[in-house]
Structure 1
Amino acid sequence: MNALHLAGSTSDRTREGRTAVFFGGVVPASAAEEKLAEDIGRALAQAGYALLHGGYNGLMEATARGASSQGTTVTAVTLTGKHDEWGAFNPHSTLSVHLPDLGARLNHYLDHADLVVAMGGGVGTLHELTAALYYATTIRPVPICLAGRTALRLLAFLREEKWLYETLTRPLAFLSTAESADAFRSRLDTLDKTPNGGA
Protein backbone atom coordinates (compact mmCIF):
# COMPACT_ATOMS: atom_id res chain seq x y z
CA MET A 1 0.00 0.00 0.00
CA ASN A 2 1.23 3.47 -0.84
CA ALA A 3 1.04 6.05 1.93
CA LEU A 4 0.57 9.79 1.61
CA HIS A 5 1.48 11.67 4.78
CA LEU A 6 -0.23 15.05 4.73
CA ALA A 7 -0.02 17.63 7.48
CA GLY A 8 -1.14 20.87 5.86
CA SER A 9 -4.23 22.20 4.11
CA THR A 10 -6.05 19.84 1.77
CA SER A 11 -8.11 22.41 -0.06
CA ASP A 12 -6.12 21.85 -3.27
CA ARG A 13 -8.41 19.50 -5.22
CA THR A 14 -5.84 18.31 -7.79
CA ARG A 15 -7.10 14.84 -8.71
CA GLU A 16 -8.39 13.01 -11.71
CA GLY A 17 -11.99 11.86 -11.91
CA ARG A 18 -14.50 12.01 -9.10
CA THR A 19 -14.16 11.04 -5.46
CA ALA A 20 -16.80 9.54 -3.20
CA VAL A 21 -16.41 9.67 0.57
CA PHE A 22 -17.96 6.84 2.58
CA PHE A 23 -18.91 7.13 6.26
CA GLY A 24 -20.01 3.94 8.00
CA GLY A 25 -19.45 2.08 11.23
CA VAL A 26 -17.29 -0.86 12.23
CA VAL A 27 -20.29 -2.87 13.46
CA PRO A 28 -22.87 -3.35 10.70
CA ALA A 29 -26.47 -3.22 11.90
CA SER A 30 -27.26 -6.32 9.83
CA ALA A 31 -25.91 -8.62 7.14
CA ALA A 32 -28.23 -6.83 4.71
CA GLU A 33 -26.58 -3.47 5.47
CA GLU A 34 -23.13 -5.01 5.03
CA LYS A 35 -24.16 -6.34 1.62
CA LEU A 36 -25.64 -2.95 0.74
CA ALA A 37 -22.32 -1.27 1.63
CA GLU A 38 -20.46 -3.66 -0.68
CA ASP A 39 -22.98 -3.03 -3.48
CA ILE A 40 -22.56 0.73 -2.96
CA GLY A 41 -18.79 0.45 -3.28
CA ARG A 42 -19.15 -1.54 -6.48
CA ALA A 43 -21.66 0.96 -7.92
CA LEU A 44 -19.42 3.91 -7.05
CA ALA A 45 -16.46 2.37 -8.83
CA GLN A 46 -18.56 1.46 -11.86
CA ALA A 47 -19.72 5.09 -12.03
CA GLY A 48 -16.11 6.29 -12.08
CA TYR A 49 -15.60 7.31 -8.45
CA ALA A 50 -12.46 6.74 -6.42
CA LEU A 51 -13.20 5.98 -2.76
CA LEU A 52 -12.10 7.76 0.42
CA HIS A 53 -12.99 5.95 3.66
CA GLY A 54 -11.74 5.41 7.18
CA GLY A 55 -9.81 2.34 6.12
CA TYR A 56 -10.89 -0.05 8.84
CA ASN A 57 -13.41 -2.88 9.15
CA GLY A 58 -17.19 -3.25 9.16
CA LEU A 59 -19.15 -1.18 6.64
CA MET A 60 -15.95 0.62 5.59
CA GLU A 61 -14.36 -2.67 4.61
CA ALA A 62 -17.48 -3.87 2.80
CA THR A 63 -17.63 -0.69 0.71
CA ALA A 64 -13.90 -0.89 0.00
CA ARG A 65 -14.28 -4.53 -1.05
CA GLY A 66 -16.98 -3.61 -3.54
CA ALA A 67 -15.03 -0.65 -4.91
CA SER A 68 -11.73 -2.52 -5.20
CA SER A 69 -13.41 -5.39 -7.04
CA GLN A 70 -13.90 -2.91 -9.90
CA GLY A 71 -10.29 -1.70 -9.83
CA THR A 72 -10.80 1.80 -8.47
CA THR A 73 -8.47 3.57 -6.04
CA VAL A 74 -9.45 3.04 -2.40
CA THR A 75 -7.83 5.47 0.04
CA ALA A 76 -7.81 5.06 3.82
CA VAL A 77 -7.83 8.32 5.77
CA THR A 78 -6.58 8.04 9.35
CA LEU A 79 -4.86 9.98 12.11
CA THR A 80 -1.12 10.13 12.56
CA GLY A 81 -0.18 8.11 15.63
CA LYS A 82 -3.52 6.27 15.85
CA HIS A 83 -2.90 3.61 13.22
CA ASP A 84 -1.22 1.18 15.65
CA GLU A 85 -4.01 1.70 18.19
CA TRP A 86 -6.85 1.35 15.70
CA GLY A 87 -5.38 -1.66 13.89
CA ALA A 88 -4.43 -2.52 10.35
CA PHE A 89 -6.27 -1.13 7.36
CA ASN A 90 -8.64 -3.45 5.58
CA PRO A 91 -6.95 -5.33 2.71
CA HIS A 92 -8.82 -3.40 0.01
CA SER A 93 -7.17 -0.02 0.71
CA THR A 94 -4.57 0.89 -1.90
CA LEU A 95 -3.46 4.29 -0.55
CA SER A 96 -3.44 5.89 2.88
CA VAL A 97 -3.46 9.46 4.16
CA HIS A 98 -2.30 10.20 7.72
CA LEU A 99 -3.46 13.52 9.19
CA PRO A 100 -2.66 15.25 12.51
CA ASP A 101 -6.14 15.64 14.03
CA LEU A 102 -9.86 15.04 13.57
CA GLY A 103 -10.44 18.46 12.04
CA ALA A 104 -7.83 17.88 9.36
CA ARG A 105 -9.28 14.43 8.70
CA LEU A 106 -12.81 15.79 8.25
CA ASN A 107 -11.55 18.66 6.07
CA HIS A 108 -9.68 16.18 3.89
CA TYR A 109 -12.81 14.11 3.38
CA LEU A 110 -15.08 17.04 2.63
CA ASP A 111 -12.68 19.11 0.54
CA HIS A 112 -12.12 16.12 -1.76
CA ALA A 113 -15.73 14.90 -1.92
CA ASP A 114 -17.76 14.96 -5.10
CA LEU A 115 -20.27 12.78 -3.25
CA VAL A 116 -20.68 11.72 0.39
CA VAL A 117 -22.39 8.42 1.21
CA ALA A 118 -23.28 7.67 4.84
CA MET A 119 -24.67 4.55 6.45
CA GLY A 120 -25.20 3.50 10.06
CA GLY A 121 -22.47 3.50 12.67
CA GLY A 122 -21.39 4.76 16.05
CA VAL A 123 -20.63 8.25 17.34
CA GLY A 124 -17.68 8.57 14.94
CA THR A 125 -19.95 8.06 11.94
CA LEU A 126 -22.52 10.41 13.46
CA HIS A 127 -19.79 13.07 13.87
CA GLU A 128 -18.69 12.64 10.26
CA LEU A 129 -22.25 12.78 8.91
CA THR A 130 -23.27 15.87 10.87
CA ALA A 131 -20.05 17.61 9.81
CA ALA A 132 -20.88 16.77 6.19
CA LEU A 133 -24.44 18.09 6.56
CA TYR A 134 -23.16 21.34 8.06
CA TYR A 135 -20.49 21.65 5.36
CA ALA A 136 -23.07 21.12 2.60
CA THR A 137 -25.37 23.82 4.02
CA THR A 138 -22.67 26.42 4.66
CA ILE A 139 -19.58 25.80 2.48
CA ARG A 140 -20.43 23.84 -0.67
CA PRO A 141 -23.57 21.83 -1.48
CA VAL A 142 -21.75 18.53 -2.03
CA PRO A 143 -24.32 15.77 -2.66
CA ILE A 144 -24.94 13.57 0.39
CA CYS A 145 -26.76 10.25 0.18
CA LEU A 146 -27.90 8.42 3.31
CA ALA A 147 -28.20 4.72 2.57
CA GLY A 148 -29.71 1.80 4.42
CA ARG A 149 -32.44 1.51 7.01
CA THR A 150 -30.29 2.59 9.96
CA ALA A 151 -29.25 5.87 8.34
CA LEU A 152 -32.80 6.53 7.14
CA ARG A 153 -34.12 6.13 10.70
CA LEU A 154 -31.51 8.63 11.88
CA LEU A 155 -32.52 11.09 9.16
CA ALA A 156 -36.19 10.76 10.13
CA PHE A 157 -35.28 11.49 13.75
CA LEU A 158 -33.15 14.53 12.82
CA ARG A 159 -36.01 15.94 10.76
CA GLU A 160 -38.71 15.17 13.33
CA GLU A 161 -36.77 16.76 16.18
CA LYS A 162 -35.79 19.77 13.99
CA TRP A 163 -32.05 19.10 14.20
CA LEU A 164 -32.20 19.22 10.39
CA TYR A 165 -34.65 21.44 8.55
CA GLU A 166 -34.79 23.42 5.35
CA THR A 167 -35.00 27.20 5.03
CA LEU A 168 -34.68 29.60 2.11
CA THR A 169 -31.07 30.26 3.07
CA ARG A 170 -30.26 26.64 3.96
CA PRO A 171 -31.79 24.47 1.22
CA LEU A 172 -31.39 20.70 1.47
CA ALA A 173 -31.45 19.89 -2.23
CA PHE A 174 -28.04 18.23 -1.85
CA LEU A 175 -29.54 15.51 0.38
CA SER A 176 -30.96 12.21 -0.88
CA THR A 177 -31.65 8.71 0.41
CA ALA A 178 -31.34 5.13 -0.83
CA GLU A 179 -32.73 2.12 1.01
CA SER A 180 -31.50 -0.40 -1.57
CA ALA A 181 -28.64 -0.94 -4.00
CA ASP A 182 -30.99 -0.32 -6.94
CA ALA A 183 -32.13 2.97 -5.42
CA PHE A 184 -28.49 3.97 -4.92
CA ARG A 185 -27.57 3.18 -8.53
CA SER A 186 -30.58 5.23 -9.65
CA ARG A 187 -29.31 8.11 -7.49
CA LEU A 188 -25.90 7.90 -9.15
CA ASP A 189 -27.57 8.04 -12.57
CA THR A 190 -29.43 11.19 -11.47
CA LEU A 191 -26.19 12.80 -10.29
CA ASP A 192 -24.56 12.08 -13.65
CA LYS A 193 -27.40 13.85 -15.46
CA THR A 194 -27.68 16.88 -13.16
CA PRO A 195 -25.32 19.87 -13.43
CA ASN A 196 -23.16 20.26 -10.28
CA GLY A 197 -24.62 17.06 -8.84
CA GLY A 198 -27.78 18.74 -7.60
CA ALA A 199 -30.72 16.77 -6.34
Structure 2
Amino acid sequence: MANAAHRTRTATFFGGVVPASDQEEELAYGIGLALGDAGLVVQHGGYNGLMEQAARGAAARDGQVVAVTLTNVDWGEFNPYVTESVRLSTMGERFHRFLDNTDLVVAMGGGVGTLHELTAALWYAGNIRAVPVWLAGETALRLLAFLKAERWLFESPTRPLGFLREIPDLATFERELSVLLDSRDRRGDLDSVIARGRR
Protein backbone atom coordinates (compact mmCIF):
# COMPACT_ATOMS: atom_id res chain seq x y z
CA MET A 1 0.00 0.00 0.00
CA ALA A 2 1.34 3.44 -0.94
CA ASN A 3 2.02 5.81 1.92
CA ALA A 4 0.21 9.11 2.38
CA ALA A 5 3.07 11.05 0.77
CA HIS A 6 2.38 9.28 -2.55
CA ARG A 7 -1.42 9.57 -2.49
CA THR A 8 -2.93 11.59 -5.30
CA ARG A 9 -3.80 15.03 -3.98
CA THR A 10 -7.27 16.39 -4.58
CA ALA A 11 -8.93 19.79 -4.42
CA THR A 12 -12.71 20.12 -4.16
CA PHE A 13 -14.10 23.19 -5.88
CA PHE A 14 -17.56 24.61 -5.14
CA GLY A 15 -18.86 27.39 -7.37
CA GLY A 16 -22.09 28.42 -9.01
CA VAL A 17 -23.32 28.10 -12.57
CA VAL A 18 -24.05 31.84 -12.85
CA PRO A 19 -20.86 33.79 -12.03
CA ALA A 20 -21.37 37.07 -10.22
CA SER A 21 -18.84 38.89 -12.42
CA ASP A 22 -16.18 38.53 -15.08
CA GLN A 23 -13.62 38.98 -12.32
CA GLU A 24 -14.95 35.92 -10.49
CA GLU A 25 -14.81 33.89 -13.71
CA GLU A 26 -11.18 34.95 -14.17
CA LEU A 27 -10.40 34.03 -10.56
CA ALA A 28 -11.97 30.58 -10.97
CA TYR A 29 -9.88 30.02 -14.10
CA GLY A 30 -6.72 31.16 -12.31
CA ILE A 31 -7.49 28.86 -9.38
CA GLY A 32 -7.85 25.97 -11.82
CA LEU A 33 -4.51 26.84 -13.42
CA ALA A 34 -2.79 26.92 -10.03
CA LEU A 35 -4.33 23.61 -8.97
CA GLY A 36 -3.33 22.03 -12.27
CA ASP A 37 0.21 23.39 -11.97
CA ALA A 38 0.42 21.86 -8.49
CA GLY A 39 -0.73 18.47 -9.78
CA LEU A 40 -3.97 18.32 -7.79
CA VAL A 41 -6.99 16.51 -9.16
CA VAL A 42 -9.92 18.94 -9.26
CA GLN A 43 -13.32 17.55 -8.30
CA HIS A 44 -16.61 19.42 -8.48
CA GLY A 45 -20.13 19.07 -9.80
CA GLY A 46 -18.88 19.03 -13.37
CA TYR A 47 -21.21 21.64 -14.78
CA ASN A 48 -20.86 25.16 -16.18
CA GLY A 49 -20.19 28.61 -14.77
CA LEU A 50 -17.42 28.84 -12.19
CA MET A 51 -17.00 25.05 -12.21
CA GLU A 52 -16.28 25.16 -15.92
CA GLN A 53 -13.77 27.98 -15.52
CA ALA A 54 -11.88 26.10 -12.81
CA ALA A 55 -11.94 22.96 -14.95
CA ARG A 56 -10.72 24.91 -17.99
CA GLY A 57 -7.79 26.21 -15.97
CA ALA A 58 -6.87 22.76 -14.66
CA ALA A 59 -7.20 21.26 -18.15
CA ALA A 60 -4.84 23.91 -19.54
CA ARG A 61 -2.20 22.32 -17.30
CA ASP A 62 -3.21 18.76 -18.27
CA GLY A 63 -4.94 18.35 -14.93
CA GLN A 64 -7.55 15.73 -14.13
CA VAL A 65 -11.10 17.03 -13.56
CA VAL A 66 -13.62 14.74 -11.87
CA ALA A 67 -17.36 15.44 -11.96
CA VAL A 68 -19.16 14.17 -8.86
CA THR A 69 -22.92 14.02 -9.24
CA LEU A 70 -26.00 11.93 -8.48
CA THR A 71 -27.29 8.92 -10.40
CA ASN A 72 -30.97 9.81 -10.51
CA VAL A 73 -30.86 13.48 -11.45
CA ASP A 74 -30.30 15.27 -14.74
CA TRP A 75 -28.58 18.59 -14.23
CA GLY A 76 -27.43 18.75 -17.84
CA GLU A 77 -24.24 17.90 -19.68
CA PHE A 78 -20.86 18.07 -18.02
CA ASN A 79 -18.52 20.81 -19.16
CA PRO A 80 -16.04 19.76 -21.88
CA TYR A 81 -13.04 19.72 -19.51
CA VAL A 82 -14.29 16.86 -17.32
CA THR A 83 -12.01 13.83 -17.67
CA GLU A 84 -13.87 11.43 -15.36
CA SER A 85 -17.27 11.24 -13.70
CA VAL A 86 -18.52 9.62 -10.51
CA ARG A 87 -22.25 9.10 -10.02
CA LEU A 88 -23.46 8.37 -6.51
CA SER A 89 -26.86 7.36 -5.14
CA THR A 90 -27.32 9.91 -2.36
CA MET A 91 -26.33 13.44 -1.49
CA GLY A 92 -24.66 12.08 1.63
CA GLU A 93 -22.38 9.88 -0.48
CA ARG A 94 -21.65 12.85 -2.71
CA PHE A 95 -20.59 14.99 0.24
CA HIS A 96 -18.41 12.21 1.62
CA ARG A 97 -16.71 11.96 -1.78
CA PHE A 98 -16.13 15.72 -1.79
CA LEU A 99 -14.83 15.94 1.78
CA ASP A 100 -13.45 12.69 3.22
CA ASN A 101 -10.13 12.56 1.39
CA THR A 102 -9.73 15.97 -0.18
CA ASP A 103 -6.68 18.07 0.62
CA LEU A 104 -8.41 21.39 0.07
CA VAL A 105 -11.90 22.86 -0.39
CA VAL A 106 -12.19 26.05 -2.44
CA ALA A 107 -15.59 27.76 -2.43
CA MET A 108 -16.71 30.70 -4.51
CA GLY A 109 -20.06 32.38 -5.03
CA GLY A 110 -23.10 30.58 -6.34
CA GLY A 111 -26.70 29.68 -5.66
CA VAL A 112 -28.35 27.62 -2.97
CA GLY A 113 -26.56 24.46 -4.17
CA THR A 114 -23.16 26.07 -3.64
CA LEU A 115 -24.35 27.39 -0.27
CA HIS A 116 -25.36 23.85 0.70
CA GLU A 117 -21.94 22.53 -0.31
CA LEU A 118 -20.08 25.30 1.50
CA THR A 119 -21.99 24.96 4.76
CA ALA A 120 -21.47 21.18 4.67
CA ALA A 121 -17.73 21.78 4.24
CA LEU A 122 -17.65 24.30 7.10
CA TRP A 123 -19.46 21.90 9.43
CA TYR A 124 -17.27 18.98 8.37
CA ALA A 125 -14.03 20.92 8.84
CA GLY A 126 -15.14 22.14 12.26
CA ASN A 127 -16.39 18.80 13.53
CA ILE A 128 -14.88 15.85 11.64
CA ARG A 129 -11.54 16.76 10.06
CA ALA A 130 -9.96 20.18 9.76
CA VAL A 131 -9.66 20.12 5.98
CA PRO A 132 -8.65 23.58 4.71
CA VAL A 133 -11.68 25.55 3.48
CA TRP A 134 -10.82 28.64 1.46
CA LEU A 135 -13.46 31.16 0.43
CA ALA A 136 -12.42 32.94 -2.74
CA GLY A 137 -13.73 36.05 -4.45
CA GLU A 138 -15.92 38.95 -3.40
CA THR A 139 -19.21 37.05 -3.31
CA ALA A 140 -17.96 34.28 -1.02
CA LEU A 141 -16.15 36.76 1.22
CA ARG A 142 -19.34 38.83 1.64
CA LEU A 143 -21.16 35.64 2.63
CA LEU A 144 -18.44 34.78 5.13
CA ALA A 145 -18.64 38.26 6.67
CA PHE A 146 -22.42 37.87 7.02
CA LEU A 147 -22.13 34.41 8.61
CA LYS A 148 -19.65 35.74 11.15
CA ALA A 149 -21.59 38.96 11.86
CA GLU A 150 -24.82 37.05 12.46
CA ARG A 151 -22.95 34.36 14.44
CA TRP A 152 -23.95 31.51 12.18
CA LEU A 153 -20.20 30.88 12.16
CA PHE A 154 -18.02 31.66 15.17
CA GLU A 155 -14.93 30.36 16.86
CA SER A 156 -14.95 28.69 20.27
CA PRO A 157 -12.47 26.56 22.24
CA THR A 158 -14.11 23.41 20.92
CA ARG A 159 -14.75 24.75 17.40
CA PRO A 160 -11.58 26.51 16.15
CA LEU A 161 -11.72 28.10 12.71
CA GLY A 162 -8.05 27.67 11.82
CA PHE A 163 -9.07 25.72 8.72
CA LEU A 164 -10.61 28.84 7.14
CA ARG A 165 -8.81 31.20 4.77
CA GLU A 166 -10.07 34.32 3.02
CA ILE A 167 -8.85 34.49 -0.58
CA PRO A 168 -9.52 37.91 -2.13
CA ASP A 169 -7.38 37.40 -5.26
CA LEU A 170 -5.28 34.96 -7.24
CA ALA A 171 -1.96 36.07 -5.77
CA THR A 172 -3.24 35.20 -2.28
CA PHE A 173 -4.51 31.84 -3.52
CA GLU A 174 -1.17 30.95 -5.12
CA ARG A 175 0.75 31.97 -2.00
CA GLU A 176 -1.53 30.01 0.35
CA LEU A 177 -1.45 26.96 -1.93
CA SER A 178 2.34 26.97 -1.93
CA VAL A 179 2.41 27.12 1.87
CA LEU A 180 -0.19 24.35 2.17
CA LEU A 181 1.60 21.99 -0.20
CA ASP A 182 5.01 22.67 1.36
CA SER A 183 3.60 21.79 4.79
CA ARG A 184 1.99 18.62 3.38
CA ASP A 185 5.30 17.64 1.77
CA ARG A 186 7.11 18.09 5.08
CA ARG A 187 4.39 16.13 6.87
CA GLY A 188 4.64 13.36 4.27
CA ASP A 189 8.41 13.16 4.77
CA LEU A 190 7.89 12.89 8.53
CA ASP A 191 5.25 10.16 8.06
CA SER A 192 7.70 8.23 5.87
CA VAL A 193 10.42 8.43 8.53
CA ILE A 194 7.98 7.25 11.20
CA ALA A 195 6.76 4.37 9.00
CA ARG A 196 10.36 3.26 8.33
CA GLY A 197 11.08 3.35 12.06
CA ARG A 198 8.18 0.96 12.73
CA ARG A 199 9.54 -1.73 10.40
Shorter-normalised TM range: 0.7 to 0.9
The aligned counterpart of 1:76 is 67
The aligned counterpart of 2:26 is 35
Aligned sequence identity (%): 58
CA distance in structure 2 between the aligned counterparts of 1:181 and 1:129, rounded to whole angstroms = 20
What value does the CA root-mean-square deviation take over the aligned residues? 1.4
CA distance in structure 2 between the aligned counterparts of 1:16 and 1:42, rounded to whole angstroms = 21
Per-residue deviation at 1:112? Answer: 2.5
Instruction: Identify which of 3, 8, 26 aligns with 1:17.
Output: 8
CA distance in structure 1 between the aligned counterparts of 2:72 and 2:37, rounded to whole angstroms = 34
Instruction: Identify which of 88, 92, 100 aligns with 2:81.
Output: 92
Instruction: Flag the structure with larger Rg.
Output: 2
Per-residue deviation at 1:38? Answer: 0.4
Q: How many residues align?
A: 181
Q: Secondary structure at the match of 2:100?
A: helix
The aligned counterpart of 2:196 is none
The aligned counterpart of 2:158 is 169
Equivalences for 1:21-170 in 2 at 5 Å? 21-82=12-73, 85-170=74-159
1:108-136 CA-to-partner distances (Å, cap 9, x unmatched) read 10013110000000000000000000000
TM-score scaled by length of structure 1: 0.88
Q: Specify the code of the residue in structure 1 equivalent to 2:100.
A: D
Q: Secondary structure at the match of 2:10?
A: strand
Unmatched 5+ stretches in structure 1: 1-12
TM-score scaled by length of structure 2: 0.88
For the pair 1:184 / 2:173, whether they are aligned, the reply is yes
CA distance in structure 1 between the aligned counterparts of 2:167 and 2:138, rounded to whole angstroms = 9
Per-residue deviation at 1:32? Answer: 0.6
1:8-38 CA-to-partner distances (Å, cap 9, x unmatched) read xxxxx9x832100000000000011001000
Unmatched 5+ stretches in structure 2: 188-199
Q: Secondary structure at the match of 1:194?
A: helix
1:31-57 CA-to-partner distances (Å, cap 9, x unmatched) read 110010000001011112110010000
Compare the two structures and name the one with the higher helix fraction: 2
